[in-house]
Amino acid sequence: MTTLSSTENTALSAALAAAINNKTKPLGSLGMLEKLARQIGLIQQTTQPQIIDPALIVFAADHGIVAENVSAYPQSVTWQMVENFLAGGAAINVFARQNHCALHIVDAGVNHDFGARDGLLDRKVAYGTRNFAQEAAMSAEQCAQAIRAGRELVAGINGNVLGFGEMGIGNTTSAAAIMHAMTRLPAAECVGAGTGLAQAGILHKQKVVQDAVAHHAAIVAQNAPLEILATFGGFEIAMIVGTMLAAAERRMVLLIDGFIITSALMVAARIEPAILDYCVFAHCSDEHGHRQMINHLGGRPVLQMGLRLGEGTGSVLALPMLHAAVNFLREMATFESADVSQQNA
C-alpha cells in the first residue's frame, strides 16, 4: 500500500493564493469557492486545476443487523433499489445525468442473485453481513477482500474526481455503530432516523447500537480501525474504504456524501490521516450524527440542503461548485488583464 502524503506545498499554496487574490473581485469574496480552488490546485499540483470526467460509484450491500428491527423498510428494498439504479430511475441517476457524471453500480454484498447484468459490477463478498448485535459483521478475511476489491475498482476510473454513494437497508445502523465505537460519543448523538423511523424506533435503534458496541467492548478498546470496520461495518462500507484510499493515491478529488460514506472516511482517515487533504465534504446530511462526524474530521460541507437520501446524491449535486471553483481560477480576469484598479492599501 502506498503511503499517502499531505497535499501541502508551501510554494504552490502561495502561488494559488496569489492567483486567487489577483482576480477581479474583493479579497475573499468568493468564499467557499476560493477554498475549493486552492484545495483542488494542491491535490492536482497546479495553479490551473481542472475537472475531468467526474464519476460516482454506488456500492450496495445488505446487513445482518436488520434482524434487530432497526429499519423502516424490509431488506428486499436493497436489491430492488439496485434494479432501479440499473433501470436509470433513481435520484442518483437523474442527478448524475444532469451533471454529466459517470455512474457505476457495484454489488458489494447484496442478499440477492442478480446474474450477469449490464451495468452491474459484481464484487459480492457474501450475501450480506452477519448480525453485529450477536457477532462480528464480517471476518477479517472478508473485510480485507472488500477493501482489496474497492482498491481495484479505481483502475477503471478515468477521471480526476470520484464521488461515493451507497445503498443498503440497515447501513445507517452500521455507520452509527462505527461512529459510536470510534468517537466514544454517546449512542444518542450517533443514531438517527435512517430510512424514516419514528421516535420509538430511533430509541430502539440507539439501544441496539449501544448494546452492540458494549458487546464488542474488547474490540472497541483496541481502537484498531480495521477491527472496528470488520465488527460493525458493511461490505459496501469496507469496499468504499479501499476505493477512497486508492483514489487518493492517484491524487483524485474525493467527493464525500452523507452519513454512511463519512463513516467509511472515518476508518480510512484513521488508516491514512492525509486522505482528508483529498476530501471535499459535499454536504451536511440531515441524518442525525452527520454534523458531528464532519466536525470530528475537521471538515466543512459545501452544501446544506436538508438531504438524507444517500446514493451519492449530495456528492453529484456539489459537482457544479467544483466546476465553478476551477473555472474562476482558470478563466476569470486579473486586475492587470482587465485594467481594473485594485483596492487601496
Q: Could you state, in order of their start, the residue ranges of all structural domains in the chain? A: 10-50+326-338, 55-324
Rounded distance between C-alpha atoms, residue 128 and residue 174, angstroms = 12
Question: Choosing from 83, 141, 311, 331, which is the catalytic residue?
Answer: 311
Cα distance between residue 106 and residue 159, in whole Å? 18
In 127-206, at which residue ranges do the beta strands (DSSP E only) sit?
161-167
Q: Cα–Cα distance between 269 and 285 in angstroms, integer?
A: 20
Which CATH architecture best describes the domain 55-324?
A: 3-Layer(aba) Sandwich (3.40)
- Whole-number pLDDT of residue 345: 62
Q: What are phi and psi of 151, to 5 degrees?
A: -60, -40
- C-alpha span between 303 and 290 (Å, rounded): 13
Residue ranges with strand state E in 150-234: 161-167
Tens-digit pLDDT profile for residues 321-339: 999 999 999 999 998 887 7
Specify the pTM: 0.96
Task: Tell me: pLDDT of 62 over 50.
Answer: yes
Query: Would you identify the CATH topology of the domain 10-50+326-338?
Result: 1.10.1610
CB 225 within 8 A of CB 103: no
Q: What mean pLDDT is reported for the chain?
A: 96
- 163 φ, ψ (degrees, to nearest 5): -105, 165
Is residue 311 annotated as part of the catalytic site, yes or no?
yes
The closest of 159, 167, 172 to 53, measured between CA atoms, is 159
At 341, the pLDDT band (50, 70, 90 cuts) reads confident
The reply to whether domains 10-50+326-338 and 55-324 share a CATH topology is: no
Residue 120: strand pairing partners: 105
Report how far Cα 231 is from the mean position of its chain's Cα atoms: 20
Closest by CA position to 243, among listed 119, 331, 156, 183: 156
Sign of CA dihedral 116, 120, 124, 128: negative
Q: Give me the pLDDT at residue 1, please.
A: 47
